[in-house]
Amino acid sequence: MTSTSLAPQPAGLRQASVSRFSAEYRTDTAFVANPRPRLSWVVATDSTDWQQTRAELRLTRAGAVESAVHEGPDSVLVEWPFGAIDAGEQVAVEVRVSGNDGGTTAWSAPLALAGGYLEGPWQAEAIGLPVLSRAEIPLGQPGQLRHEFTVGPGLAKATLFATAHGVYQAEINGSEVDDQVLKPGWTAYADRLNHETTDVTALLKQGANAIGVWLAGGWYTEKYGFHGFATPFYGEQPAVKVELHLEYADGTRQTVASGPEWRGTTAGPLVSSGIYAGESFDARRIEAGWSLPDFDDSRWLPASVDSGAADSRAPGSKPWAEATPAVAPPVRRIEELPVREVLTTPSGATVLDFGQNLVGRLRIRVSGDAGRRITLRHAEVLEDGELSLRPLRLAAATDSYTLAGGGEDSGEEEWEPRFTFHGFRYAQVDNWPGELDPAAITAVVIHNDMRRTGWFECSDPMLNRLHENALWGMRGNFLALPTDCPQRDERLGWTGDIQVFSPTASYLYDSLGFLSSWLQDLALEQSHRNGVVPIVVPAVLGMLESPVAAWGDAATVVPWVLYERFGDLGLLGRQYRSMCDWADALLRVRDSSGLWQGQMQLGDWLDPAAPPDKPGAARTHGDIVASAYLFRSLDLTAKAAAVLGADDDHGKYSTLAEDVRSAFLAEYVTPAGRMVSDAQTAYSLAIMFGISTDPVQRQALGDRLAELVRLGGYRIATGFVGTPLIADALTVTGHMDAAERLLTQTECPSWLYPVTQGATTIWERWDSILEDGTVNPGEMTSFNHYALGAIADWMHRTVAGLAPAAPGYRKQHIAPRPLRSLQHAGTSHETPYGLASVAWKRSGERILVEAVVPPGTTAVVSVPDGSEEFEVGSGRYAWDVPDAAPGAAYSAVSLDSPLSAIMDDPGAYAAVWQAIDAHDPAAAAQFRKDTVWYRQTSLNQGLTFTPAPIKREIGSALSALSGTRTDVPPLAPREH
């Protein structure tokens, strides 16, 4: 092996600097939610083997400077070394770092922070829109509120605090206070509310001022449930609390707070608004200047005061919870996409194709007559050339805009919905005035404004598209909370989806603050259920209140994943009680054998063998899934206890986990390494959860798993539980080729089948679109469901070869395992310590690997041929090693070869399948089935009904392949 460090600079030229400095989770604002925010910094340097030896911190507070010294290598989520930041207090902190190379950085740029929380209780009253009687106002009626006030001379600072039961946006003197949308998001409203803290000093002026609030029901007044039985859960009408703190140069203070003296209207332009229904806006009803002073609001009525009493008709309605500063990054407009194509459907409708399934809404620019009503209807796919609306179920997903008009000189009107969002690629536009210019309509992508941190690229465009689909699936479903889907009448925080996807999410984006916020809601909802975690958080369904395996286990898995990926010991400690409560809840449902059996389970949800109307009817028994997760949660709770120094708990849960391991192996695994459910998910669980530890048994389980994959024609045979595990289970038991065949398979079901069908996000079902182009008839058919995109984490860790070897990537594991079908692959990840990357490419009979190990970290390197493992410090490296998997020569295959030999040779299988498909697609489909069920039949026999010329063509193709390399993809996508 040849090893080279890439271009190290002479010692005298190495200059370290602080490249990023942040406090806690939110880096988008100076306001912090914690009076003692933890600090993190990243150092950039060309020095190899660089380690931090100490850091100096300097705080400027009210003109005085304080200093602190932090000894040692820690630079991630370092405890605040100064006195607490008071509410509203403004400070600036700087850091400079010394390293083992003897150098010291310059001071970082000052990080300005302010206490983003209220001092004392809210003075604001919760107010809603004027309501004369409930009969006169529909559920979740949107509207506007306003208030005028006077600002004296010498204003120094103005800070706005606001929260809502519903969603809101505030304006001061005609300008929106920030660029956030759908504030304050969705939390477990009965227990926790977010509030935003906004510096609005620049929007105020001495003298008369006005504040206005747009208000709608959002998630608070939405109906939740299935099959037409959805009902309001929280409340029937929105309300808001607004508190504006003014500080003057002479030290005086003034508070402007919402109360009964505010005035409101439901007769404004925002006619209706709903998360599922969409939004209706009538521009003729706009009252210009409504958030400016001196506006005539005599026709507006006094705001209603929300007393905080629970609404008996809404089971989740309770008095207002304490509002705390938001820790997740806010939802914002992130990107804009133009129309890719304008389509005319068979019915004559105009449909816009944006080329990407996305989450957001449309912005239109239009001119026309007053009163013309334009409607915008959204869908993810087309069926028979028209919008496919059935998958949306009861979600209307329709917005409408009524023009103000005003003649030729009135100019162009611009509108974008304010309090709704849709999942869509296509939008039907009805009643547009004149000819539609596609440039007049833009798709606005919205989601929580997280920092992108992970990338992957390889030589196969289809795998690149698969990875991009997982990325877009995350973007669409990380909006306020981690949802299952963003388009139909659901959009709920299903715990099982994020449980399996959290490793991928932690790589692609800095999702620590986002998931930390959601985990607070999980623990709160769990606290009302004796430790049981509901299947959705926030819990709005009122169903399945008993423990459900793989869903409730988000309580143990997600905090542990965040600890592994971000090194956040504080979060692990905060969630530890939740982990224990879930583990204890599971212990209460064990049967006499010590296993979790006989309970209602969702199991290996959406196993492709399950009928469309029975998504839980999986090949792996639900008891095996449940008992495996019983072990998993006990084991993770024991590990968390060890990390946190809870020695007694560590002993308790470790012992219990060992008891479950023994019972599991005795109940479900034979001495020869076969499982009672002889299915791929069962074997993957036993291997990847570490239930089977005996090397001989573990290898037998892996061998049987690989054989099942082979017998299944290298097509997916796992659901939500097994799919994130199977590639790893094959890899660690020495079956990398089988894992590759699964990954690169394009027949249905497979990860790449949706790609061949034009998917731009991950689907809920493997066959959400059937091979004939029709939409799956199942009641659940989403085209943006990230759970099955969890394979991206294996692509990062194994195909490209970058994984954490210590919490927060303090140590990395660099172990690329090149696939035979790829010529190159690479990944990079912005770790808490800086950018790490691994890339490899084939060059003749060699593999060239390049890697970057960020300053302050080390890496354990396992080169692709597996010949050597060693440790390196920070720096840039290159290794040149033999190609351990160069694409071995084809076996001698012919028309007399058994179908099993054809199936096991990816090039031969592709050649036969495509040769038949070019002449007779139906015969090709039958051949694909035969290779699974009649494996000892010769190819000649399998082609009994194939015309002789086609058989000769196939024979020639197989002869040409013999002795050549398998460095081509196993199967080309079909054209549809």
Say how far apart CA 106 and CA 526 lie, in whole Å.
47
Q: Which residue in 802, 783, 804, 784 sits closest to 792, CA to CA?
A: 802
CA dist 67 and 333 (Å) reads 39
- The one catalytic residue in 171, 764, 830, 953 is 764
Q: Both ends of the chain: CA-CA distance in Å?
A: 47
Distances (CA, A) of 122 to 146, 165, 214, 238, 889: 19, 15, 21, 18, 74
Find tokens 């975690």 and name the residue: 533
What Å distances lie between residue 519 and 481, 491, 538, 545, CA to CA? 10, 17, 10, 18
Residues in Cβ contact with 637 at an 8 Å cutoff, skipping those fewer than 6 apart: 556, 579, 580, 582, 583, 649, 653
Are the beta carbons of 765 and 720 closer than 8 angstroms? no
SS (H, E, C) 586-610: HHCCCCCCCCCCCCCCCCCCCCCCC
Find out whether 805 and 414 touch, Cβ atoms under 8 Å: no
Question: How many helices, marked H, and strands, marked E, lie in the chain?
Answer: 18, 46
Q: Are the C-beta atoms of residues 719 and 802 closer than 8 Å to each other?
A: no
Active site residue 490: yes
* CA separation for the pair 524, 906 (Å, rounded): 51
Distance from CA of residue 76 to its chain's centroid?
23
What CA–CA distance (Å, rounded) separates 150 from 248? 13
Tell me which H or E stretch contains 214.
strand 207-216
- Residue 294: is it exposed, middle or buried by C-beta count within 10 angstroms (0-12/13-18/19+)? exposed
Return phi, psi of residue 662, to 5°.
Answer: -60, -45
**Active-site residue (options: 380, 490, 564, 740):** 490
Instruction: Tokens for 224, please give them.
Output: 């939740």
Q: What is d(CA 230, CA 394) in angstroms, rounded to the nearest whole number?
A: 10
Contacts of residues 736-739 at CB distance under 8 Å and 24 or more positions apart, as own/partner, are 736/817, 736/819, 736/885, 737/820, 737/885, 738/706, 738/709, 738/710, 738/714, 739/794, 739/798
The C-alpha angle with vertex 123 and arms to 318 and 270, in degrees rounded to 5, equals 65
Identify which of 907, 916, 886 has the alpha carbon closest to the alpha carbon of residue 959: 907
| Interatomic CA distance for residues 814 and 451, integer angstroms | 24
Query: Starting from the edge strand earliest in sequence, which strands make up the sheet with 858-862, in order?
Result: 802-804, 811-814, 858-862, 869-872
> Cβ atoms within 10 A of the Cβ of 865, count?
15
How buried is 771 (Cβ within 10 angstroms: 0-12 exposed, 13-18 middle, 19+ buried)? middle
Structure tokens at 204: 């105020």
CA distances from 109 to 143, 337, 751, 830 (A): 43, 35, 46, 20
Residue 845 CB: number of other CB atoms within 10 A? 8
Rounded Cα–Cα distance for residues 377 and 484 (Å): 21
- 667 among known catalytic residues: no
Please list, in sequence order, all residues whose beta carbon lies within 8 angstroms of the beta carbon of residue 121, skipping any fewer than 6 positions away. Answer: none
What is the per-residue burial (b if ≥16 Cβ within 10 Å, else e) of 384-405? eebbbbebbbebebbbbbbbbb
E strands within 462-600? Answer: 478-479, 481-482
391: cis peptide before it, omega within 30°? no
Residues designated catalytic: 490, 764
